[in-house]
Amino acid sequence: MATIIAVTACPTGVAHTYMAAEALKKTATMLGHSISIETQGAIGAASGAASRGTHTALTADSIAAAQLIIVASDIHLDMSRFAGKMIYATSTSEAIRHPAQVIEAALALIGITSSPDSSAAAPATAEAAVAAKPQRQRIVAITACPTGIAHTFMAAEALKKWAAAHDCDIRVETQGSVGAKNLLTEAEIAAADVVVIGADTHVDTGRFAGKRVYKTSVGRALKETDQVMQAAFALPAASAQPEQTSAAIQKTPNQKSTAGGAYQHLLTGVSYMLPLVVAGGLIIALSFVFGIEAFKQPDTLAAALMSIGGGAAFALMIPVLAGFIAFSIADRPGLAPGLIGGMLASQLQAGFLGGLIAGFLAGYVALGLRQYVRLPANFEGLKPVLVIPLLATLIVGLIMVYVVGTPAKAIMDALTQFLQSMGSTNALLLGLLLGGMMAIDMGGPINKAAYTFGVGLLASHAYLPMAAVMAAGMIPPLGLGVATMISKRRFTADERVAGKAAAVLGLCFITEGAIPFAAKDPLRVIPPCVAGAAVTGALSMYFGCELRAPHGGLFVLAIPNAVNFLLPYLGAIVAGTLVTTSLLMFTKQPLHSA
């Protein structure tokens, strides 16, 4: 006999909540197991599925004595109190329709099956016997990067290749710039042996309660796939891990990951901000087709385009950045104070720096209020919709107005003035730094830091860094593409094909096109790429090139006035490409089999 605890919850907290509780209670009793059930709904938690008049939640003693937790819920629940317990998660409808299968599947997690002498349990036992047969390992995964383009899909492909090579079944959900694709179903998650999350942005893990979850960066999932998968399968069972998240998700004790850190929160904000920046920047660039100051004429198309791009899209840039930094830290309770704090930063002209401060401040204030403010059970529902937004917004707003706004504005004004008035030596040094950063990890954290710096300054009308960043980011794939065409003896047949694709990606400003070459031969590929990108960044800054569009690569240069000095800018890109290609001729030796 097993000692089971169940929690049921649906959005209204009425019909499905109690029907699921009753079904689980009757079936567990019939199978000879002891069960205590807590129902959670519109009026809070009530213990005892059959008795709606009892409002006592599960006690700490009953949770401690339980061997297994079954969560049948259609809403997000805080499960931190179940830390260290094995959790089986399902929906209320599944618990209502198939309670025996739910209980049997849950018991299988702790190695218990019902007695075959019980006729009522016979069908479920037969299913358990089938499930006990050797099966292919089943993996579900999520990949996500800030832009949701190259790294996201390349990491997904790497995981799929690993699974195919090791005779495993895998389903990968990609969370990118166009939303989530190949969404994982509840059945696929329930059947999975392990969950792998390769992400540099916030990923909601609540649906993986009770599963072994391995979190890492999208870069490691792409470049160190075998090590990641071996570590994922080496994770202990959920009940063996004393420290768990609120969703009871397993983590590697010594796991090297960006997950949970300030950098991940920053990248989450950047990932939501980028569509606004890209769309707004390109629309602003389109307004320059009619002349660099044509938008100043009222009631013209140029003025309308500037209103859309600059007046609307760019106005939302800082609030969205701050809002989703706070969302990454504190989940939904952080969103409102983050957005409002970001809007205040924009109104106070505190710029990108003010938005960063507002986002982190709002996130940690909301997180602290969520963790430390305690209300009676019947009023807990007010916390996420009233208490936290009100108090967090008030605290963040007052700090932004009276403490942060003026100093942040002064710093941004000084930085903007420095960029606009710096001499050639300083321009060369800054360009070298930004250019090298764009190529050293080709879409990784350092690359994203440089790009974020350039994008953030667009809101302050400082366009020099953006030009250097985009030009330098094009160099690694362009240089490799050219090298594979003019020196075929140094590359395999597959690399020569990949080189053509890399060149196209380079023209589009997708630095990640160089990753397959860098991952295969980093010592010979990365230094030439860094050198070429640094030269391009330095030349762009030296020539005083300003770019008003944050993406688009070579194609955006077809928009008149998008860049102020077109020919010098193109010259910087060509020079960097030649530097990278020439150095590759030196570092890459001819292949004997070529």
Instruction: Give the amino acid at 179.
Output: G
Give CA–CA dist 503/477, Å, rounded.
5
Read off φ and ψ for residue 339, nearest 5 degrees.
Answer: -60, -45
Question: Residues 6 or more apart from 114 whose CB is under 8 A from it?
Answer: 31, 32, 104, 107, 121, 124, 125
Please choose, from the candidates 472, 475, 495, 474, the residue with its C-alpha nearest in 3D space to the C-alpha of residue 484: 495
SS3 242: coil
Give CA–CA dist 414/368, Å, rounded.
34
Give CA–CA dist 281/266, Å, rounded.
21
CA atoms within 13 A on the CB side of 162: 26
Instruction: Give the amino acid at 63.
Output: I
SS3 145: coil
Tokens of 325: 């930094």
Give CA–CA dist 429/537, Å, rounded.
9
Residue 121 DSSP symbol: T
Question: Nearest 5 degrees, angle CA 144-CA 150-CA 153?
Answer: 60
Count the residues in the chain.
594
Q: Are 150 and 441 in contact (CB under 8 A)?
A: no
SS3 405: helix
SS3 355: helix
First to last CA, the chain: 68
Q: Which of 145, 168, 529, 545 is catalytic?
A: 145
Instruction: Give the amino acid at 391.
Output: L
Computed on alpha carbons and rounded to an integer, the radius of gyration of the chain in Å comes to: 28
Residue 258 DSSP symbol: -
Give CA–CA dist 171/190, Å, rounded.
12
Give CA–CA dist 92/71, Å, rounded.
9
Give CA–CA dist 534/469, Å, rounded.
10
**Cα 567–chain centre separation:** 38
Is there a catalytic annotation at residue 168? Answer: no
Residue 563 DSSP symbol: B
Q: Are 113 and 172 in contact (CB under 8 A)?
A: no
**Helix 445-456 with 424-440: angle, nearest 10 deg:** 140
Q: What is the H or E stretch that residue 198 is in? A: strand 194-199
CA dihedral 358, 352, 409, 545 (to 10 degrees): 180
Give CA–CA dist 341/246, Å, rounded.
27
Residues labelled catalytic: 145
